[in-house]
């Protein structure tokens, strides 16, 4: 065994602890100061938050004149969701929002990402606004602000008004979205300074209109499905313009997007380059189009006659400058350099690859670092937020009212560690929103998958902090991964 010199011994708390262990003695954990030399401190002013979405938490499906959304229709259609479950009541945050703000307050978060139900504001999607719908959000915002919590507002998190003919198959829906975005941002921008247009294009276009697993449950062919994608990103672009035209300067506009995150199989220059190429190519219909204001050639060639049709002005709107890019990050896709025209090859996950309670939720915490890095290296956005990160667990509420979700803490801790790397390397990561504040309606999985750091008993609607909530509160207080 190598001997340890006196000089090395004094160098860091870590070295001294190791030396103490070798010598069979014990030293205080932080022998040389308040904090460990290896502590993963986040930048000063880093924003910690939680995220939710309207249809998943609000309930009050018919309250105060709310019109139906495609998720009301879909979830009430037999066979579409787990055990036929719907968002009719869910967490009833429509009535219990003050309790939910208390949960946020107890965590010590500085921010909260929430979404607005379009059909509360415009029950028919367009036309006459419903004042009572807006009143609800006024109450929620006032409660947040009274507790010093900064709201980040998503305008569209999948609950499209049912009344809009053809839904996202129609170009008119993109225009209707812009009108809705104009109205909401005009009325809320005295208190809301950060707006996200849409959440996760793939989920409300491809999964809803091509795969049929989400509302409206269609299985369109490639051509019409690509046009649905185009209407989705056009809505975003027109929405950005509408928000800017209706809010004071300084209002920050972005979106929340689950871009596919390509992770190099080995961290060497050729695989890193492959990950960058894959990021541009694999996200061509969505984030790449937004960041570059065009559909890149490889996408157009791949789709051929099925490629989306853009009208004059569409791509300019779609490429509108953004103040920030929000990334929802859950899982990695591994990629390697390859001697092919594309220059990369995707690795299929082995059957033994680990995942959380949701089978799709494979665990690869380095994805949060690579998600940030690939996007920043390619497009240099002004700012990045992690607008969602979190996981499902098989949570069990003990008779003592506890949930020991050590697996969720493991998932979160590891992702935050890799996010810290991105921040430490200077990527402009400004904040992190944990998905989710509390268990809620997990879309087609109903109440069968729990993502919250608060457990919700869906019979009594009582909320219980899980171990992960206790842990997150300490992370926030220390601004450091624990």
- Cβ-proximal residues to 403 (8 Å cutoff; 6+ apart), any chain: 395, 396, 397, 455, 464, 466, 467
Among the listed residues 58, 143, 366, 388, the single catalytic one is: 388
Residue 26 to residues 14, 22, 175, 299, 427, Cα–Cα distance (Å) = 12, 10, 67, 60, 38
- Binding residues for ligand PNW restricted to 313-332, rule: CB under 6 A: 328, 330
Q: Is 388 one of the catalytic residues?
A: yes
Any idea what DSSP says for residue 435?
E
Piece of the chain touching ligand PNW by CB under 6 A; list 70-78, 121-129, 177-185, 197-205? 197-205
Does 199 sit near ligand PNW (CB under 6 A)? Answer: yes
Among the listed residues 143, 200, 257, 366, the single catalytic one is: 200
| CB of residue 442 to ligand PNW, shortest distance in Å | 5
| CB of residue 395 to ligand PNW, shortest distance in Å | 15
Side-chain-facing half-sphere of 102: CA atoms under 13 Å = 8
| DSSP helix/strand/coil, 93 | helix
Give 299 or 330: the residue with its C-beta nearer to ligand PNW.
330
- Binding residues for ligand PNW restricted to 385-414, rule: CB under 6 A: 388
Burial class (CB in 10 A: 0-12, 13-18, 19+), 305: exposed
Rounded to whole angstroms, how far apart are CA atoms 115 and 138?
13
Among 451, 455, 464, 471, binds ligand PNW (CB under 6 A): 451
Among 435, 455, 471, 472, binds ligand PNW (CB under 6 A): 435
| DSSP helix/strand/coil, 314 | helix
| CB of residue 50 to ligand PNW, shortest distance in Å | 13
Burial class (CB in 10 A: 0-12, 13-18, 19+), 246: middle
Give 203 or 438: the residue with its C-beta nearer to ligand PNW.
203
Give 330 or 369: the residue with its C-beta nearer to ligand PNW.
330
Q: How many residues bind ligand PNW (CB under 6 A)?
A: 13
Closest by CA to 187, choosing from 251, 126, 236, 143, is: 251
Q: What is the per-residue binding string for ligand PNW in 98-137, x denoting contact by CB under 6 A?
A: ----------------------------------------
State the CB neighbour count (10 A cutoff) for residue 55: 25
| CB of residue 360 to ligand PNW, shortest distance in Å | 4
Q: Where on the chain is the footprint of ligand PNW (CB under 6 A)?
A: 53, 56, 199-200, 203, 258, 328, 330, 360, 388, 435, 442, 451
Instruction: Report the catalytic residues.
Output: 200, 388
């Amino acid at each position: 065994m190598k001997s340890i010199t006196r000089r090395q011994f004094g160098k860091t708390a870590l070295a001294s602890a190791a030396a103490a262990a070798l010598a069979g003695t014990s030293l205080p954990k932080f022998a040389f100061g308040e904090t460990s030399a290896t502590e993963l401190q986040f930048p000063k002013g880093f924003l910690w938050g939680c995220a939710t979405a309207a249809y998943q938490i609000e309930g009050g499906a018919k309250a105060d004149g709310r019109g139906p959304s495609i998720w009301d229709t879909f979830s009430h259609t037999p066979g579409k969701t787990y055990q036929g479950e719907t968002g009719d009541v869910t967490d009833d945050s429509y009535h219990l929002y003050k309790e939910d703000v208390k949960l946020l307050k107890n965590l010590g978060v500085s921010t909260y990402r929430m979404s607005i139900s379009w059909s509360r504001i415009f029950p028919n999607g367009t036309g006459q606004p419903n004042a009572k719908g807006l009143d609800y959000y006024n109450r929620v915002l006032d409660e947040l602000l009274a507790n010093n919590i900064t709201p980040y507002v998503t305008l569209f998190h999948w609950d499209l008004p049912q009344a809009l003919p053809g839904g996202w198959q129609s170009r008119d829906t993109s225009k209707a979205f812009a009108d809705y975005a104009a109205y909401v941002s005009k009325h809320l921008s005295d208190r809301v300074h950060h707006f996200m247009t849409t959440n996760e294009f793939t989920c409300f276009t491809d999964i809803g209109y091509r795969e049929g697993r989400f509302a409206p449950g269609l299985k369109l062919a490639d051509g019409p499905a690509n046009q649905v994608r185009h209407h989705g990103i056009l809505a975003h672009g027109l929405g950005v313009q509408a928000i800017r035209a209706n809010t004071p300067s300084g209002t920050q506009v972005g979106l929340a997007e689950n871009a596919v995150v390509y992770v190099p199989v080995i961290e060497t220059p050729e695989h890193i380059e492959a990950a960058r190429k894959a990021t541009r190519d694999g996200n061509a219909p969505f984030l790449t189009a937004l960041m570059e204001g065009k559909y890149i050639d490889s996408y157009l060639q791949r789709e051929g006659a099925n490629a989306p049709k853009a009208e004059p002005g569409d791509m300019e709107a779609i490429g509108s400058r953004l103040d920030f890019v929000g990334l929802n990050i859950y899982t990695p896709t591994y990629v390697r350099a390859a001697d092919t025209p594309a220059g990369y090859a995707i690795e299929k996950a082995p059957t033994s690859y680990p995942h959380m309670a949701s089978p799709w939720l494979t665990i690869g915490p380095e994805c949060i670092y690579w998600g940030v890095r690939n996007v920043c290296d390619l497009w240099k956005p002004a700012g990045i937020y992690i607008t969602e990160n979190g996981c499902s667990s098989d949570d069990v509420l003990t008779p003592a009212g506890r949930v020991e979700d050590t697996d969720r803490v493991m998932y979160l801790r590891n992702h935050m560690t890799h996010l810290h790397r991105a921040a430490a390397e200077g990527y402009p990561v400004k904040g992190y929103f944990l998905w989710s504040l509390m268990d809620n309606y997990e879309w087609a999985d109903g109440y069968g998958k729990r993502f919250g750091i608060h457990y919700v008993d869906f019979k009594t609607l009582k909320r219980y902090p899980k171990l992960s909530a206790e842990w997150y509160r300490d992370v926030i207080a220390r601004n450091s991964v624990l």
